[in-house]
Amino acid sequence: MDRRAFLKLSAATAGVAAMTVYGSGLLKVVNASNNGAAAALATAQDPTAPMSSLVQIPHLLRRAGFGGGPQEQSKYLAMGYDQAVQYLLNYQQIDNSALDAIAPNIRTTYSGTVPAGQNEMNNLATWWVNRMIQTPRPLEEKMTLFWHNHFATAYFKVQNGYSMYQQNKFLRANALGNFNDLLTGITSDGAMLIWLDGILNRKNNPNENFAREIMEVFSTGRGPYTQSDVSQGAKAFTGFSINSSGQGVFTPANHDNSVKTFLGQSGNFAPQDIIDILVARPETAANLSTELFIFLGYPNPSPEMISRLSTVYFDSGYSIKSMVEAIFTSPEFISNQAYLANVKSPIEYLVTALRSLNATASNGTLVSTMTNQAQFLFDPPSVFGWPSGIQWINTGSMMERFNFPNGVQTKADNKLSGLDPLQAFPSGMDTATAVADLTSRLFPEGLPNEVLSVIQSSTASYTDPTLKTKNTVRLTMACPFYNLN
């Protein structure tokens, strides 16, 4: 993603949307961001040089999770960068039992019915968003989101919330696990068997969907295989079905026991044999290394970076945790080139805001913004998942990004868990100080003075603390700084 292209596009789309919806205040703050300051902050003269130590922790928390408020930022700052990386990676040591006890309001068995009056897909998606906001293990949820996109499976075809929920739990349990285990587990996953027609794959009538996608999307990527490999792989994956509990089961009687030739190797291959061949391919190492680095680092990583990550992949026995650690501890990850190098996806955009502000939004607001920004959890558009980078930015999506802050709840909206305006703008504190403090929750490094002055000027026109709070939040979230990751 070209950061300057984002700044130019965001300003252009803001020019239409901001004047229509909010008037000049929002347009001025986007223009202030775009008048050299944002580009200068995001584009260093030497991209290979380390970013300032003051921004390394905020950068790490944005990539390894979804940002965080002052308390969370302070906790990791006190640790120092290296210890913070280890704390995030070793999240199994953090008790998460309270959050694990909260389940979505969906059917409780594979053959069960959706609770009366409930929308199962909405309940699944809002349950996960709220889990991301509340988790003490941010990297666990961030990597679960990565795998959800990598093994993209959609409710619109599966039509069973229980199966989608079980897949989500599997991805979370293996988020930093072994790639062979992940590929093995997803092959017999109930939702995946429906999604890619694995339940239709029989020895007398092979279905090639899964055999193609396990190579093209899940492992090697396009290139090393032929149509013959797809056909032979399909025969190797015959024999799966779903039992009454929604679990994938392998029935040898339905499996093709003939000799198959797959990627240059021959044998009476069963599913695990194909998986073992695929995970050992150099193309799989390079493809997965590239996807992980782009997700956590920046677009277009160097061949040398991918080569190093591929070596980690093989040397660690396909350990995802080792690969992620190698990314976070690489000079590339904390280089100027990585700073604000990605565009926040819609999920990152809304989760980071609510987590950093310690705020809430109604489930209706969450559903609306996921729908209108075209990233509805559990319902990616295809097996290729969602787009990324600058593709998230267009006139429609920017309009929704400008609208979402109005749904961030204050105490006036939700007395139990909303953002407290009396804490954000306490009596006796000048507007400039309060605005600087509140904006730093969303962008901990601190916005440039040009941007802060516009927000302060606009916010000073209000006398009510709730209106001051809402105005500050919406203008900050309109900044390219917040929308970049």
pLDDT for 24 beyond 60: no
pLDDT for residue 391: 84
Strands (E), 214-267: 240-242, 248-250, 260-262, 265-267
- Higher pLDDT among residues 48 and 211, named by residue: 211
Say how far apart CA 329 and CA 80 lie, in whole Å.
13
Top-confidence residue, 21 or 391: 391
Q: Which helix (H) or strand (E) holds 240?
A: strand 240-242
Instruction: Return left, alpha or beta for 340; rule: phi > 0 is left, psi -120 to 50 is alpha, else beta.
Output: left
d(CA 292, CA 296): 6
Q: Alpha-carbon distance 147 to 397, whole Å?
A: 24
Q: Which of 331, 341, 446, 340 is nearest to 50 (CA)?
A: 331
Does the pLDDT value for residue 461 go beyond 50? yes
Identify which has the larger pLDDT, 32 or 97: 97
Question: According to the model, what pLDDT value does residue 3 have?
Answer: 52
pLDDT of residue 259: 97
Q: What is the pLDDT of residue 22?
A: 44
Question: What pLDDT does 19 receive?
Answer: 38
- Asked whether residue 242 carries a pLDDT value surpassing 70, the answer given is yes
Q: What is the three-class DSSP state of 404?
A: helix
Task: Give mean pLDDT, residues 333-340.
Answer: 93
Where does the pLDDT of residue 411 fall: very low under 50, low under 70, confident under 90, or very high at 90 and above?
A: confident
How far is it, in rounded angstroms, from Cα 437 to Cα 439?
A: 6
What Å distances lie between residue 247 and 6, 111, 188, 202, 242, CA to CA? 44, 12, 8, 18, 5
Q: Which has more pLDDT, 72 or 37?
A: 72
- Residue 1 pLDDT class (50, 70, 90 cuts): very low
Give pLDDT, residue 417. Answer: 77
In this predicted structure, what is the pLDDT of residue 53?
A: 83
pLDDT in tens, 245-278: 999 999 999 999 999 999 999 999 999 999 999 9
Q: What is the pLDDT of residue 28?
A: 60
Instruction: Tell me the chain's radius of gyration from C-alpha atoms.
Output: 24
- Which range (47-51, 203-207, 320-324) has the least confidence? 47-51
pLDDT digits (tens, 9 = 90+) for 431-459: 999 999 999 999 999 998 888 999 999 99
Does the pLDDT at position 202 exceed 60?
yes
**136: pLDDT strictly greater than 80:** yes
Residue 41 clears pLDDT 90, i.e. is over it: no
Tens-place pLDDT, residues 139-192? 999 999 999 999 999 999 999 999 999 999 999 999 999 999 999 999 999 999
**pLDDT score of 20 more than 50:** no
**Averaged pLDDT of the chain:** 90
User: What's the confidence (pLDDT) of residue 399?
Assistant: 83
User: Residues of the chain with pLDDT > 90: what percent?
Assistant: 79
Q: What is the pLDDT of residue 358?
A: 92
- pLDDT tier for residue 25 given thresholds of 50, 70 and 90: low
Query: Residue 224 pLDDT more than 90?
Result: yes
Cβ count within 10 A of residue 363: 16
| Alpha carbon distance 69, 357 (integer Å) | 6
**Rounded CA separation 485/482 (Å):** 7
Q: What is the DSSP letter of 264?
A: T
Amino acid occupying residue 369 = T
Q: Is the pLDDT confidence value at 88 over 60?
A: yes
Among 72-86, 405-419, 455-469, the minimum mean pLDDT is found in 405-419
